[in-house]
Structure 1
Amino acid sequence: MKKLALLLLFIFCIAHAENYVVVNSIDGRDVISGIFYANVKNEPVKFMAYPNGDSEFLALKVGKGKDILLIQSKDKPVSASLKEVLKNRGNNIEIYESTDGGKTNLDLAVRSGAKKFIIVDSAYADGALSVMSYAALEGAYVILADKNNIDQVVDVVKNAQSITIYGYVDKAVKEKIEKLQNVKVNYIGKGEDRYEDNVAISKMLMEKYNITYVYFVEGTFIEEGMIDSKIPFVLSGRLVPDVTYNFVKEMVKNDKLTTSYLIGGTTIAPAIRDMRERIKNELAQEGMNKSFGIWIRYAQVIPTTGTSGQQTALDIFPLPAYMPKLAIGEVVYNKEDKNLMVRVDNIGDGPAYFLADIYVKVDGKDYKVFGSDSPQLIEREDKKGLTYSLDLSSIEEGNVSAVVIVKYGSSKKVLEDYTSYTGPLAFIAYVDKTNVSATKIRYDRNNKTLVIFLKNNKDITAYATTDVELYMGGEKTRLVGPKNIELPPNSVVPVQIPADLSEDDLKANEQQVTVYVQYGGRVGYLPNKSTFKLPLEYEKFDYMLCVIPAILVLIILIAIAYYYWQQKKRRR
């Protein structure tokens, strides 16, 4: 069946030819797949911006008399009228209806006729963004892969000329791709750090194609001008990572980077400006007068019947770093403290924002309605308990039910998914008697982690979340620890938080580090808060431990040399 489906798709592709690609979907996988497809076919591509897209503006940019492949989401198009707007301008429209972004990515891979492929993990959009320009110049199609679709991916790429695996991918993906016969598999990046991987492909792209321009990006959105540029997209945060800073400095120093572009209003702009000044000053101290330019793009010009055109905001689309997924863990009523308790669980690949609406019904009729005005953030794998004051003491348990609707999404302004619960409201009697403390904090040099020791002072199970506030690079920094750590009764549990601390950092924190602990007796419900001021313990670096072995080795080498010299002397 798979072979038949691929054959039918191939025949369909031959029968339909286009010279323009347009994407109309809220699903970012559709958008980036349309871009990958157009780049392989060497065709222009436009997409509906989101959330402020305008079909008339898009049609103006596309123009007239085109044969357009319109990749359009069946359930979530940005504009319901785009097809008609394009047709009214004299364009021929062929629609590819997308029902699932992952399937669309593979269908377009086949339709493109690509023989070169780049595989990235489907959950992380910055991987797809990092390889986009490289793929366009190489004529390669980018496939979004994970352990759930790897069998379908193998069917698509098994006869490829070359396959490149970029950055982190699931172990199952790597194993199955490596087993393909007669296919050359290349690797870019180690998959351990997204910034290191990004630098690796950016450097390769600049050197191979003699490019002296880059786009500095956050990795959270795509903009039309970025696609057209076909230059490296260098990732940065509000603080420029060391690996990125060193890469940029090296390229500027060697006259391989002259100009950079930024999208106006991004949070990384101050960091990029600061990096430029630091690099300029450092190179000046080395006797070189070198720097790089920064061009910031704020607007675009839409062609009109006039001579100057109309200026409007840039067409931007948020990237699908992952597809968020939340679940309702429990809905109960606590008779002891007269609280309604609703737990929301993040079972997706990354953080999400959500709003909860709760309807309490008595004998089938609305009794009380609860909710929140603004979305809340829930981190990956976190469980968040919501409590609402509610007095049901005069109502029999069996007559009470609840309807819970949790709307969620990857953006505060776009809560496009939901999960719900409808059923009886269970009654419980629970009193939180937990007591948790932080007893010490230690820095593990070998693993570059802070280890916080949490003590459960009661003979009941507790759950805790801990954060640490300390100085890094001279600035006070808060590091967020894992969520809902289970602490067995009367136990001490070490909790690890990754942290790369320098010698100066260690000295700055050895007197005092602030440890924040939230805890409670039910998963997700952490009503208790405590703060602890603790000295940072760490192993002092003893230089003699290195010097003494080095001296011993040197003595042994001298002794061996002397022995052979004496032997040679005797033979004479």
Structure 2
Amino acid sequence: MENRMTGQRGKNMKRHSGRKEFARGLFLLLILSAAAVIASEAASAESVIVNSKDWRDVYAGLQYAKLNGQTAYFVKSESHAVSLLNFLNNDEKYVVLNGAESFLPDYESLLKGKGLDAEALPYDNNLNIELARKLRDEKGIKKYIIVDDSMGYNAISVAPYAKVSESYVLFANAATIDDIISFFREERPESVTIYGHVRREVKEALQEFNPEEINEGNRFANNREIVRRYLKINPINQTLLTNGEFIEDELMEGKNPIVFIGRNNIPDETKEFIKEAGFKYAVLIGNNLIPTATYVKRRLDIAVFVKFAKGLAGTGNPSLQDLDTFPVPRYAIALDIKSVKYNVLTNTLEVTYQNLLESPAYAKTTITLLDSNKTASDKEAVFLDGFQEKTVAYPLELDEAEKNNPGIASAIMLYGEDEGSLEFVLQKNMTVSTLKVLDNSQAEIIDAYYDVSNAAFIITIQNTGSTDVFANAEIIGLMVDGEQKNIAGNKNVRVKPGEEGQIAVRQRMTELDLADNPSIKVRVYYGEREEGLIKQKEKEFPLKVKKSNLLVIIGASAAVAVLVLWLIFGKRRKRKEE
């Protein structure tokens, strides 16, 4: 009995030992398999390097890498192309995206010379579309976001949403839209979204793909809308802060949305949006916006961190380097206050504003006389076309002593590319001079039409007063390329009493643009002094279009031809009747 039990126990022990060996072997096999997979992935791991002077190539290359889950680098100068080699890994394979204009031609050969595994990606003529094709064919990504490439901020704003929604950003303009349409016709997109302003021909060409449009009127409003959409996909309490003037790796990562803040000011609507979105943390990318980021921290009760440098990982060197950033086209804008004068006879503060660049701009200013603590301010933003000067007269009552010596004016001007994007701040103290001038000028707007041959609106005014009048004009809320804009004449005209004068406001208009404007609103600024057009009048006109003389001649010739034919056939008919 005991021997039988002992034997049975021995069999059980052998069986148990066998199970342990099997389990150990299976565990070892799993480890080896996992190691093999890891080794295989490591061996086949690819990183992307973009070697191009074109920001669109850099952007396209980074978004391609992010959608593929790859590490991405970009070259930002010739010296950086060389120094970048010190941070590349011998265990990785590098796909080099060379632009039409690259910092170092044949960059992949330089990598190979350093013992790195590298190859260039061949493509025909548009890297942006070629990478879209690869993502479609290899990853099945068929959702697209269309942006204009004249300014870079729209592409930066939409980058995180593109990543989390698995969409690819395409740059569309008159030169690229045909290629994009051909690409879409190869395999119909799942969705197409137009973000921000694009050219009319781009928008029209895309209609066959039923695009959705996101255009709230300005870049800050568009940015808030795309962040809302991001948060629906990836609710998160942290955001990145930037102003859309450069590309940086984390901005393309998609882990956090991007909220635009201005260089010196944050639009009120964006301040409210940051509160409503429930963000608790924010990371400022770069150190050029610290004043506005400080406002976010102090006034909006959000913890703000600043990413202003990068460490040199694995080098043993504890020093920091500047962030790798790549500039994108931005809206260049610069305004100034040229003079502040108090007109004793009219009790007005005359402030002359100056646009120093060709880009149109809007400004809202508050001016305080420091001695009297009296203030004048704009209720609406003042429009300044490129290189335009404009004088605005603000009613301001001063007592006799203050009139004789107004003292120092402290001005705070908020300005930007449109009324909803007043992101810049000018603070300036100026001595207020005095003048004693009455303005008895009188004028009426009597006609307005569009002259096709001169590509200009012609505004006719009449001097109905007894003194010479200087005048200029603006068209308010004109629809051009599907967008509202203001335009102004670039030259003042002088009109003698009782006479008429014409002001040209140049703007090239297509037939569709003209159809979008059944009427136009004209605003004329005028005055006795050329440097002080402090009076204004507005009038709305049904749009009239004057064709060129050539078209008029063609029309007249056609009428003559009809008359000749009538005479010929009329005579023949008469002969038959006889």
Q: TM-score, normalised by structure 1?
A: 0.53
Q: Deviations over 1:474-530 (max 9, x none)?
A: 83467999xx999889874422578xxxxxxxxxxxxxxxx9997699999xxxx95
Take 1:468 and 1:451, find their aligned partners in 2: how far apart are those partners?
11
Against the structure 1 CA distance between its residues 465 and 486, is the aligned structure 2 distance closer, same or farther, given a 3 Å change threshold? farther
Against the structure 1 CA distance between its residues 534 and 234, is the aligned structure 2 distance closer, same or farther, given a 3 Å change threshold? same
Code of the aligned partner of 2:323: L
Matched residue SS, 1:69: strand
Show the 5 A alignment for 1:172-211.
172-180=201-209, 185-187=211-213, 189-211=214-236
1:66 aligned onto 2:95? no
Q: Deviations over 1:269-311 (max 9, x none)?
A: 21221243233xxxxxxxxxxx2111112211123443x5552
Against the structure 1 CA distance between its residues 497 and 178, is the aligned structure 2 distance closer, same or farther, given a 3 Å change threshold? closer
Kindly indicate whether the alpha-carbon contact (under 8 Å) linking 1:518 and 1:530 is maintained by their aligned counterparts in 2: no
The residue aligned with 1:110 is: 133
Q: Deviations over 1:97-153 (max 9, x none)?
A: 6786xx221121112222121111222211111111111122211111124322211
The residue aligned with 2:328 is: 319
Superposed displacement of residue 167, structure 1:
2.2
1:296 aligned onto 2:299? no
Superposed displacement of residue 469, structure 1:
5.8
The residue aligned with 2:406 is: none
Take 2:390 and 2:456, find their aligned partners in 1: how far apart are those partners?
12
1:28 aligned onto 2:55? yes
Take 2:291 and 2:58, find their aligned partners in 1: how far apart are those partners?
29
Kindly indicate whether the alpha-carbon contact (under 8 Å) linking 1:215 and 1:226 is maintained by their aligned counterparts in 2: yes
* Structure 1, unpaired ranges of 5+: 1-16, 280-290, 322-349, 354-375, 383-442, 455-462, 499-514, 539-572
1:265 aligned onto 2:265? no
Kindly indicate whether the alpha-carbon contact (under 8 Å) linking 2:360 and 2:383 is maintained by their aligned counterparts in 1: no
Kindly indicate whether the alpha-carbon contact (under 8 Å) linking 1:220 and 1:319 is maintained by their aligned counterparts in 2: yes
Q: Deviations over 1:152-191 (max 9, x none)?
A: 11222241122222222223323332313xxx6434x325
Kindly indicate whether the alpha-carbon contact (under 8 Å) linking 1:26 and 1:78 is maintained by their aligned counterparts in 2: yes
Against the structure 1 CA distance between its residues 495 and 305, is the aligned structure 2 distance closer, same or farther, given a 3 Å change threshold? closer
Against the structure 1 CA distance between its residues 300 and 108, is the aligned structure 2 distance closer, same or farther, given a 3 Å change threshold? same
Against the structure 1 CA distance between its residues 225 and 275, is the aligned structure 2 distance closer, same or farther, given a 3 Å change threshold? closer
The correspondence for 1:151, drawn from 178, 184, 188, is: 178
The residue aligned with 1:564 is: none
| Greater share of helix | 2
The residue aligned with 1:14 is: none
Kindly indicate whether the alpha-carbon contact (under 8 Å) linking 2:473 and 2:489 is maintained by their aligned counterparts in 1: no
The residue aligned with 1:426 is: none
Take 2:259 and 2:135, find their aligned partners in 1: how far apart are those partners?
27
Take 1:218 and 1:165, find their aligned partners in 2: how far apart are those partners?
20
Against the structure 1 CA distance between its residues 221 and 469, is the aligned structure 2 distance closer, same or farther, given a 3 Å change threshold? farther
Show the 5 A alignment for 1:142-541.
142-158=169-185, 159-180=188-209, 185-187=211-213, 189-228=214-253, 230-237=255-262, 238-251=264-277, 256-266=278-288, 268-279=289-300, 291-306=301-316, 308-321=317-330, 379-380=358-359, 465-468=388-391, 475-476=412-413, 492-495=471-474, 531-532=531-532, 534=534
Matched residue SS, 1:230: coil
Q: Deviations over 1:311-358 (max 9, x none)?
A: 21111100145xxxxxxxxxxxxxxxxxxxxxxxxxxxx6599xxxxx
Against the structure 1 CA distance between its residues 523 and 470, is the aligned structure 2 distance closer, same or farther, given a 3 Å change threshold? closer
Q: TM-score, normalised by structure 2?
A: 0.52
1:95 aligned onto 2:116? no
Q: CA RMSD in A?
A: 4.5
Against the structure 1 CA distance between its residues 155 and 259, is the aligned structure 2 distance closer, same or farther, given a 3 Å change threshold? same
Matched residue SS, 2:531: strand
Matched residue SS, 1:54: helix
Larger Rg: 2
> How many residues are paired up?
354
The residue aligned with 2:65 is: 38
Take 2:412 and 2:378, find their aligned partners in 1: how far apart are those partners?
21
Code of the aligned partner of 2:73: K
Against the structure 1 CA distance between its residues 42 and 264, is the aligned structure 2 distance closer, same or farther, given a 3 Å change threshold? closer
Against the structure 1 CA distance between its residues 523 and 242, is the aligned structure 2 distance closer, same or farther, given a 3 Å change threshold? closer
Take 2:387 and 2:160, find their aligned partners in 1: how far apart are those partners?
44
The residue aligned with 1:332 is: none
Kindly indicate whether the alpha-carbon contact (under 8 Å) linking 2:48 and 2:65 is maintained by their aligned counterparts in 1: yes
Identity %: 23
The residue aligned with 1:439 is: none
Code of the aligned partner of 1:303: A
Superposed displacement of residue 221, structure 1:
0.5
Kindly indicate whether the alpha-carbon contact (under 8 Å) linking 2:164 and 2:254 is maintained by their aligned counterparts in 1: no
Kindly indicate whether the alpha-carbon contact (under 8 Å) linking 1:73 and 1:99 is maintained by their aligned counterparts in 2: no
Kindly indicate whether the alpha-carbon contact (under 8 Å) linking 1:120 and 1:144 is maintained by their aligned counterparts in 2: yes
Q: Deviations over 1:382-438 (max 9, x none)?
A: 9xxxxxxxxxxxxxxxxxxxxxxxxxxxxxxxxxxxxxxxxxxxxxxxxxxxxxxxx
Q: Deviations over 1:194-237 (max 9, x none)?
A: 11110011122123211211111111111223333631121121
Code of the aligned partner of 2:49: V
Kindly indicate whether the alpha-carbon contact (under 8 Å) linking 1:468 and 1:478 is maintained by their aligned counterparts in 2: no
Kindly indicate whether the alpha-carbon contact (under 8 Å) linking 2:145 and 2:194 is maintained by their aligned counterparts in 1: yes
Take 1:469 and 1:88, find their aligned partners in 2: how far apart are those partners?
65
Take 1:147 and 1:496, find their aligned partners in 2: how far apart are those partners?
26
The residue aligned with 2:32 is: none
Kindly indicate whether the alpha-carbon contact (under 8 Å) linking 2:388 and 2:490 is maintained by their aligned counterparts in 1: yes
Take 2:79 and 2:153, find their aligned partners in 1: how far apart are those partners?
22
Superposed displacement of residue 55, structure 1:
2.4
Take 2:356 and 2:68, find their aligned partners in 1: how far apart are those partners?
40
Superposed displacement of residue 537, structure 1:
8.6
Matched residue SS, 1:29: helix
Matched residue SS, 2:311: strand
Superposed displacement of residue 380, structure 1:
4.8
